Structure 1
Amino acid sequence: MNHFAGFTTPVVGGHHAMLRFAEDGRAEPVLGPCGAPRVFPTELEAWKAVTENLLRYFNGHLRRDGETITSARDAAERIFRKGRVIPVEHR
């Protein structure tokens, strides 16, 4: 259940580009500017939209490079660990 998917579905007038994200649980169509499902004239254009939107999601929402630990997180760790700082070593 915890997976990503992208596919096309034929509809009247063309194809929908469908995307399923791990946190949603069901596939939904790519939406147009008005918020309505966008109908692509060809299956190839729908596949291009699937690829573009999946890459946009992965590069925008799932990136963790350069993440730093903030002072607020350090303070929360001290509260839950009763003031002790537990050293973490990276391998």
Structure 2
Amino acid sequence: MNEFAGFTKAVPGGFWAMLRFARDSHPKPVLTEGEKPHVFPTELDALRAINRHLLSYFNGDYRRDGVRCEAAKAAAERLFRNGREIAVERRSA
């Protein structure tokens, strides 16, 4: 379901920082530039990386099917707002 998770996994030489996002079916390790799992020397370093990556995800750009929503929002604002107030008429039921 829509679950997020972050945990460490002990491996030879240190720890992996494992992240599971709602869009993924299973957790994945934090990768280095060479697309290999980053091995952190201590569990605390791995937990800090988990915290940093989860916060970056939650505070990052909103996306829709891999596309940033900024362009769609700007187009909608141009169409509907255009700097003027929109009058709303309320009708009783």
Q: TM-score, normalised by structure 2?
A: 0.67
**Structure 1 residue ranges without an equivalent (≥5):** 75-86
The yes-or-no answer on 1:70 pairing with 2:71 is no
> Which amino acid is 2:2 matched to?
N
> Which amino acid is 2:38 matched to?
R
> Which amino acid is 2:41 matched to?
P
> Which amino acid is 2:73 matched to?
T
Aligned length: 73
Name 2:58's counterpart in structure 1. Answer: 58
1:18-54 deviation line (CA, Å, top 9, x unaligned) = 0000011210000011110000000000000000000
Distance 2:59 2:28 in 1: 20
CA RMSD of superposed structures (Å): 2.7
**How far off its partner does 1:69 sit?**
5.8
Runs of 4+ in 1 over 6 A off after TM superposition: none
Name 2:38's counterpart in structure 1. Answer: 38
Name 1:10's counterpart in structure 2. Answer: 10
Q: TM-score, normalised by structure 1?
A: 0.68
Name 2:24's counterpart in structure 1. Answer: 24
**Structure 2 residue ranges without an equivalent (≥5):** 64-68, 80-87
